[in-house]
Structure 1
Amino acid sequence: MWNAKQHSYEELRDVVVDVLHQQISGNNQYLALVENVARVINERENPVVNLGTGMAYQGASAALHPHDRDKLLEIFWDLFRQGVITLGLNDNNPQWPWFRLSRFGASEAARQPFRFHDTASFMSMVLKAVPDLLPATQMYLDEAVAAFYSGCFLAATVMLGVAAEAEFLRLIDVANKNAKIGTSFDKAAKERFIRTKIEAFRKGLDPHLKSLPDAAKEDLDISLNAVQSILRIARNGAGHPSGAAPPSREQVYVNLQMFVPFAVQVARLRQELK
């Protein structure tokens, strides 16, 4: 239907993800997915209007522009490549056009608010939240997401850990140069290992928490200590051969999402401590 409204890849992908998680009856074949995506878009963009005569008018019919249908096919195979969906319904229907959500696709990790589907969308999401990331951090993040989508989860974990460490070291440097309270962070600046740097930074920060606005210290333990520790542990486990199982796709996906609130918290603290 050439006169239907066209949508961006990102707009369509968000609708597809929503439809997949609605568990609509009969939504396990590709054509049914297309029909349901068209229906959801129509419901959102053409809400029911009560005509006052006991009748309701839906507006435009649930039809997609041909270019949107082309994008949907691309989105479907992107989601397959990313491990969100898998082909086949069951042993009796093991192939295309049947499909279903994978265990990863059905998990909470795939429903997180920080959605991304490729390197560009991840970087756009992060930079929207923290526009002044270091160029080096951006480079490491770019490598991390590229490795994730290539299935190189060890490499993705290492690069993500390096990116988090770069922003945390930047925070320590800014705090240590503070004219009033910089000496509180001397130990954090001098420590050699990231774990001890985290501990020393938190101890140096504690006496000054009361003077910080709520936004800068909200969920501090979760957004700063816990997140940075998780990324540090994941990075060390990946970077130092130990025979341990490599991180799963789900673990790396969650860690990539966790970087966003971590970076936001670090940026808030950096602004308050400079």
Structure 2
Amino acid sequence: MSKISFDPNDEGGLELARIVLLDRLRRDHNWNQISPYDSGFDPYVEYVGPSRPGQERLLTLIQDVFWEFIIQGVLAPGLDLANPNLPWFHITDYGTKVLAASEFLPHDPTGYLRRFRSDIGTPDRTVEAYLSESLNCFERGCFIASVLMLGVASERAFLLVCDSLLAALSKSTERSEFDRILKRNPIKPKQDWVLRKIQEIQKTRPCPLPDNVNVMLTVIFDFIRTQRNSVVTLKRCRQKYLAKTRSST
């Protein structure tokens, strides 16, 4: 079993502690009690320098991540009816699904972004910035804000696809039509045009794109529209609240 190198003097210790905790939760099925004097992490960590300071620093960070996972619903206090409180704990049903996942795990933001960069190559900085903010919101239990940030990142990625598609169009009439649509603010006409173009491309044989691309795009487009509508609704609610507050003062 490979160990994670941990230097108590390095920045980014919290990210490493998160990885270590996830690793132990996946491997050590008998672990069900959190303790500030736990040596059970030693099989998962290679300490840089003297082990004692490394152990103390890691266990402090583990406590922080442990509470994060409780807030996120991965872990819950108590083992059973006879031991219903901390330091006993158990993995929730949701936590079991989280630990079984191997790709794009938001509970491990560092690993999530590393995999994202690896798959994309050189991602757009704006997309990555909103994605990173979405993960930060998720960590803190701000799930609505997390979804909104993810939606903004998705919309930005979609608009980049539109720019690439516009540049690739060979027919001047299509290019002019699509360019006119892109200059408008509504997102749905852009999505409809792209979807129709993809459906047209898919009629060629062999199909240049996966068979389920239409379904995938429809789901993604619905998500982006929902996110946009949510942002508009939140803005209107805020405006009404501010107007009501001003009128009452």
Same fold (TM over 0.5): yes
Q: Between the two proteins, what is the percent identity of the paired residues?
A: 21
State the SS of the aligned residue for 1:100.
strand
State the SS of the aligned residue for 2:86.
coil
Structure-1 residue corresponding to 2:85: 95
Structure-1 residue corresponding to 2:197: 204
Find 1:137's aligned residue among 104, 124, 127: 127
Q: Superposed, which structure 2 residues align to 1:1-80 within 5 Å?
A: 7=5, 9=16, 12-19=20-27, 24=29, 26-30=30-34, 67=54, 71=58, 74-75=61-62, 77-80=64-67
Structure 1's 109 and 117: CA in aligned 2 closer, same or farther, altered over 3 A? Answer: closer
User: What is the rounded CA distance, in whole Å, between the counterparts of 1:178 and 1:15 in structure 2?
Assistant: 45
2:4–2:20 CA contact under 8 A, matched in 1 = no
Moved more, 70-79 or 225-234: 70-79
Deviation of 1:222 after TM superposition, in Å, equals 4.5
Residue 33 of structure 2 aligns with an amino acid whose one-letter code is Q
Structure 1's 77 and 153: CA in aligned 2 closer, same or farther, altered over 3 A? Answer: same
User: What is the rounded CA distance, in whole Å, between the counterparts of 1:150 and 1:217 in structure 2?
Assistant: 37
Equivalent pairs counted in the alignment come to 211
Structure 2 residue 213 is the aligned partner of structure 1 residue 220: yes
Structure 1's 153 and 5: CA in aligned 2 closer, same or farther, altered over 3 A? Answer: closer
User: What is the rounded CA distance, in whole Å, between the counterparts of 1:182 and 1:72 in structure 2?
Assistant: 63
Deviation per residue, 1:47-94 (Å, 9 max, x gap): xxxxxxxxxxxxxxxxxx764786466346414313211221234323
Structure-2 residue corresponding to 1:257: none
Deviation of 1:183 after TM superposition, in Å, equals 4.8
Residue 142 of structure 2 aligns with an amino acid whose one-letter code is C
2:77–2:88 CA contact under 8 A, matched in 1 = yes
1:88–1:96 CA contact under 8 A, matched in 2 = yes
User: Which structure 1 residue ranges, 5 or more long, are not aligned?
Assistant: 42-64, 244-274
User: What is the rounded CA distance, in whole Å, between the counterparts of 2:195 and 2:87 in structure 1?
Assistant: 54
Q: Superposed, which structure 2 residues align to 1:137-176 within 5 Å?
A: 137-176=127-166
Deviation of 1:235 after TM superposition, in Å, equals 4.7
Structure 1's 110 and 160: CA in aligned 2 closer, same or farther, altered over 3 A? Answer: farther
Deviation of 1:163 after TM superposition, in Å, equals 0.7
Structure 1's 233 and 17: CA in aligned 2 closer, same or farther, altered over 3 A? Answer: farther
TM-score, normalized by length of structure 2? 0.65
Structure-2 residue corresponding to 1:81: 68
RMSD: 3.8
Deviation per residue, 1:199-250 (Å, 9 max, x gap): 221102222235698684353135433133224324523551499xxxxxxx
User: What is the rounded CA distance, in whole Å, between the counterparts of 1:73 and 1:207 in structure 2?
Assistant: 57
Deviation per residue, 1:173-195 (Å, 9 max, x gap): 11112252575463453564223
User: Which structure 2 residue ranges, 5 or more long, are not aligned?
Assistant: 7-15, 45-50, 238-249
